[in-house]
Structure 1
Amino acid sequence: MDYAKLNRRRNCLKGRMNRLCQDLDALIRQPESRIDVKMTLDSISKLLERCQEAQDAVEAVITDDDEIEKETQRWMDFEREIRSARGRAERYLEMNTEPVDSKKSSPNSTSAKLPTWSIPKFTGKVLDFPSFWEQFNAGIHDNAELADVTKFIYLRSLLEGEGLKAIDGYAVTQDNYPIARQALVSRFGNPKRVIEHHIQAIADLRPNRDRTLRELHDELVTHVRSLRALNRDTLGNQFASDIILTLCKRLLPKKILSLWEDKILESEEDPNEVETFF
């Protein structure tokens, strides 16, 4: 990999680290944020390992001694800022020791049960949002034992790319959590936009000899079923059926298409032609 790509990846990771440190500083200014501070510190530790790997990769392709020295100095400055942020958080934790009485439970207890499955990260692809959102709501949002600020931290940790940019301006606070949720739903969960992306995905498909008929079938059926779930059913709507069939038939090998055309000529008009086609 060339220097430009390595440097871009390293800078992207450092940018995420800076945002985490900003979140951490915001949390330590709030009372009763021990759990959230600990979680953010854990995220910083994990991300720092990735930053170090990216830094090592950048330094490995630099041949100029002066440039290596500059890179090393910049990295030391970056590490110093991280240590400073972590130090402030550690002092906050020392000054805000958890009460000894563990008999009383609270909605923000660390014993909150989190989902045992792995929620996939959302990168900003509109067609991935419905599945991601359902899993996040089931595993995190609907968990009454988690405070909203904790849910917000989980939400940010599951976002990347355009998904993260959509809520990047919101500080991690209790009040901003519902606002950030609405921002995501408005941008990626709008039904009309999801419908457009499903139709566009079908239109963008091209004939591909490396793709099996089964793979083509599964991909097309996924889009059609999703459209049906969004009240865009091709059944009973002949015009919509004609559009879907026209888009789908062009993807078939000539031999299969010929067999299909022969079948249509031999049969009466089928009100469920899309279903028959699949």
Structure 2
Amino acid sequence: MIQNTLNLPTISIDSFTGDPLNRHQWFSFFKATIHNNSGLSDAQKMTYLQNSVTHKARDSISGYSYNGDYYHEAIVELTRKFGKPQHMVAAYLDQLEKWAKPRLDEPNTFVSFSSFLRRLVQTFRLHNFEADLKSSAVLRMARDKLNPKMIIRWNQHTRSQGLLQPNLTHFADWIDSYAEAC
């Protein structure tokens, strides 16, 4: 009797709940480690997929069970429901609107705000939402999260840098410099 042994690598894949804020990072990692791995069968890929989704994401593909014949359909379904760029961008804008003001006396709030803005900028660039990055309304929404003293510092920065039309990328870079100093 020939015994077929399978040595799968141990990989820790974060769970995807269906939250559009986490979809890109989760799928990029899943795609690089599982989806594009030619050494794995579709059944193995489906097992990894089913074990890495929870909540709404799991509900959307639970009907496919662990059947590898439906692996590609499950990926299409997850992309259809959770991978639309406009939904990811809208989720980032909603999160920005709800974001609490960073406090000067709590440096970790600037670090968190900086990290969030960096992910927002990267997501907008990735999905070609350049107009939103240049939008004065989006910049104002982010800038208004600052206290008046920091807004003055931002305004001074834009003047000293000669930024006639500052945008969200400029702002995120500037916030990064504060976060690094924390």
Query: Do the two structures share a fold, i.e. TM-score over 0.5?
Result: yes
Identical aligned residues as a percent: 22
1:221 & 1:101 partners in 2: Cα distance?
Answer: 50
Letter in 2 for 1:160: T
CA positional deviation for 1:269: 4.8
Q: 1:214 to 1:270 in 2, by over 3 A?
A: farther
CA drift of 1:183 comes to: 0.8
Pair 1:110-2:6 in alignment: yes
User: Deviations for 1:3-62, whole angstroms, at most 9, x for unmatched residues?
Assistant: xxxxxxxxxxxxxxxxxxxxxxxxxxxxxxxxxxxxxxxxxxxxxxxxxxxxxxxxxxxx
* Letter matched to residue 193 of structure 1: H
Q: 1:213 corresponds to which letter in structure 2?
A: F
Query: Bigger shift: 200-209 or 265-274?
Result: 265-274
CA distance 1:153–1:253, shift in 2 (3 Å):
same
User: In the TM superposition, what whole-angstrom CA distance separates every residue of 1:199-234 from its partner, at most 9, and x where no partner exists?
Assistant: 222122122434532332222122122211111125
Using the TM superposition, give the Cα deviation of residue 143 of structure 1 relative to its aligned residue in structure 2, in angstroms: 2.3
| Change beyond 3 A, Cα 1:207–1:166 | same
Cross-structure match for 1:100:
2
Quote how far apart the aligned CAs of 1:186 are: 0.6
Q: 1:273 to 1:122 in 2, by over 3 A?
A: closer
1:125 pairs with 2:22: no
- Per-residue deviation, 1:145: 2.8
Q: In the alignment, which residue of structure 2 is the partner of 1:228?
A: 125
Instruction: Determine if the alignment matches structure 1 residue 162 to structure 2 residue 62.
Output: no
Alignment-derived partner of residue 261 in structure 1: 155
**Aligned residues of 1:234 and 1:274 also touching (Cα < 8 A):** no
Looking at structure 1, the residues matched to 114 and 57 of structure 2 have their Cα atoms a distance apart, in angstroms, of 29
- List gaps (5 residues or longer) in structure 2: 175-182
Q: What is the aligned residue count?
A: 169
User: Unpaired segments of 5 or more residues in structure 1?
Assistant: 1-98, 103-108
- Aligned with residue 188 of structure 1, among 79, 82, 85: 82
Is 1:206 equivalent to 2:108 in the alignment? Answer: no
Per-residue displacement from partner, 1:56-87 (whole Å, max 9, x unpaired)? xxxxxxxxxxxxxxxxxxxxxxxxxxxxxxxx
Superimposed CA distance per residue, residues 165-204 of structure 1 (whole angstroms, 9 cap, x where no aligned partner): 1112223323221111111111111112112112222122
Change (3 A) 1:170 1:273: closer
CA offsets 1:131-169 (integer angstroms, 9 cap, x no match):
111222222222223221222122111111111111122
**Residue type of the alignment partner of 1:232:** F
**Post-superposition offset of 1:101:** 6.9
How do 1:7-22 and structure 2 match up within 5 A? none
Q: Is the 8 A contact 2:18 2:57 kept in 1?
A: yes
| CA separation of 1:269 and 1:137: change in aligned 2, threshold 3 A | closer
Q: Determine if the alignment matches structure 1 residue 249 to structure 2 residue 143.
A: yes
What is the distance in 1 between the residues matched to 2:82 and 2:88? Answer: 8
Post-superposition, which runs of at least 4 consecutive aligned residues in structure 1 deviate over 6 A?
Answer: none
Match of 1:83 in 2: none
The residue aligned with 1:44 is none
Structure 2 residue aligned with 1:141:
35
